[in-house]
Amino acid sequence: MQDDLTERAAPSRNVGRAHRIFVIIVAAVVGLDQVTKVWAARRLPGDPIRLLGSWLELEYAENTGAAFSMLQGRGAFLGVAAVAAVMIIAAAVTRLDRTSEVVAVSLIAGGAIGNLLDRMTRGEGFLDGFVVDFVRLWWIPNFNVADSAITIGAATMVALALFVPQERT
């Protein structure tokens, strides 16, 4: 953990390392997200799988909005916002001081790209496609791997900001 907090020694090495971490995590999240969505779209419609009673189910759903089904029908807006977020994250990733920050923003970018791919490929117009959601946990609306990555990445960034001291420069 100490290395994570003080890895400022070799900036050029850290830039390359940050890029590698970013690419690996983004590719892993997008790949896992898309594979699970293809499986869910083929296997689950009309036949949900109960894993832990009504507490955890795999149930197919199509979401044209954002998290918790907000902004329904605003796919183009959400798609453009996702592209902007990924561009900002990709540009900023080399400026991050900690590996944990790079991992967190990489999870967010991977999730944004995963859901963006759905919007691009599951509709007829510009970014008007739906996102495949298939995990239903207790009272939480259906979500997917991309949503989970975004949530974990955002929660990690908040935790780092609140609980990990910043070095003064």
Q: Per-residue confidence at 12, pLDDT binned at 50, 70, 90? A: low
Which residues are tagged catalytic?
Answer: 133, 147
Q: Per-residue confidence at 168, pLDDT binned at 50, 70, 90? A: low
- In the predicted model, what is the mean pLDDT of the chain? 85
pTM for the predicted model, two decimal places: 0.82
Least confident of 78-87, 89-98, 101-110, 115-124: 78-87
Mean pLDDT of the region 119-146? 89
The Cα–Cα gap between 61 and 130 comes to 9
Using alpha carbons only, give the angle 24, 25, 31 rounded to the nearest 5 degrees: 90
Q: What does the pLDDT look like over 85-99, one tens digit per residue? A: 888 888 888 888 899
Rg of the Cα atoms in the chain = 18
Find residue 133's DSSP bridge partners: 61
Least confident of 2-11, 26-35, 54-63, 110-119: 2-11
6: how many CB neighbours lie within 10 A of its CB?
Answer: 11
